[in-house]
A and B are shown apart, each in its own frame.
Chain A
Amino acid sequence: MVKTGMVDRLVLSFIYGTLILLSLSVLFPIFYVVAVSLTPFEEVLRNGGFIVVPRAITWEAYRIFLTNDRIPDAYQVTFIITVAGTLINLVLTALLAYPLSKPRLPGRKIFLLLIVFTMLFNGGIIPTYLIVKATGLLNTLWAMMIPNAVSAFNLLIMKTFYENLPESLDEAAKIDGAGEVRTLVQIVLPLSMPIMATIGLFYSVGHWNEFFQAIMYVSDTAKFPLQVVLRGILSRSQSVEELSLEETMPTESLQMAAVILTAVPIIVVYPFIQKHFTQGVLLGSIKG
């Protein structure tokens, strides 16, 4: 018995140790990137490179970016596609999920089958590009919102949620003489706020991190979202060098400041909404 107790305590300390290391491995890179973004040029010269905790810091890199148009403009694009895109996602998903949750709807099975099929098979990225082009979305902000307007996966989660609402709601609404649209807007929607929040959050993180559709369909640099602009800043250092003409800031500091500017909204908002995401995964796993 005593031996088991000892082993148990050892195992437990090993677990605590591993978990602390794991947490540090997430936090340290973020901390280091912040440190680099705050390191002035003379520090780099003095130490022969970047160190983890610089002795002097400067906010110059952030000042340069926020007074220059590039990042603020990209912020604007990303903000628009996040807000408008999520709105489009939610409206279309709900309008499709609600009717499909009614077993009485004629043809329901066929519609569902056609939607599930799109999860299993797709035409490929080139034909999709040609359709986006044919529908006139190339080089517009719509190109980052419409071609992925409804996620079949989220649609199925929402449909399951509607199916689990009590049948009596529907009947009560009928007796009151409410039509389908009024039932959805006035009775079902208020009840489905939790699921709308969860799914809306997943959609909006997707838009904030938008990259794929932007590089596929948008070539006008003025319409690049944040992630694409950041990628440009990271891969072509001369594009940043021209920003710090007086050599006040090392290129790397500017690059890391851009990383932090892109990540901050997520890092700040995330702890408050984490719970919804975790619920979302579990909802999805029940379905899948």
Chain B
Amino acid sequence: METDTHKRIIAFVIKSNWYLFIVATLLGFINTPFKFALGILCGGLLVTLNFHLLKRTLYKAFDPSKFEQSKFSLNNDNMEYSDGRSILSGVIVKYYIRFAISGIVIFALINRNIVEPMGLIIGLSVVVASIMAATTLELTRLIFKEAV
């Protein structure tokens, strides 16, 4: 039951993420100047790709089939896989590489005046908006369930 809820939430976030990105980009290109719309496109694409890469990293790192119960325990201070690799360091290194690349791309976009910064901020909010939408939906569902 709870696993279904979690699967549903992540599926909703991923779907709504792409929908919001496409809708925001289209609306941007129709209604706003080119640089502003380009900002929405670049920001949305960057943050969506980031989210998918984060998902991939976390699912790979916390895959139950990858670690053995005996090795992966609180007695082991390093919290490592059965082959000795540290889980935390792997996730953190990948996170910093991803974040550095995002930072460089955003720096280039703003520094060279390729995009409008406000458009970029709107594009970067796509994932946050979809997570908020998922939370609101789940809360609404919970409230109505309790009311019934």
A binds B: no
Q: Which residues of B contact A (CB under 8 A)?
A: none
Q: Which residues of A contact B (CB under 8 A)?
A: none
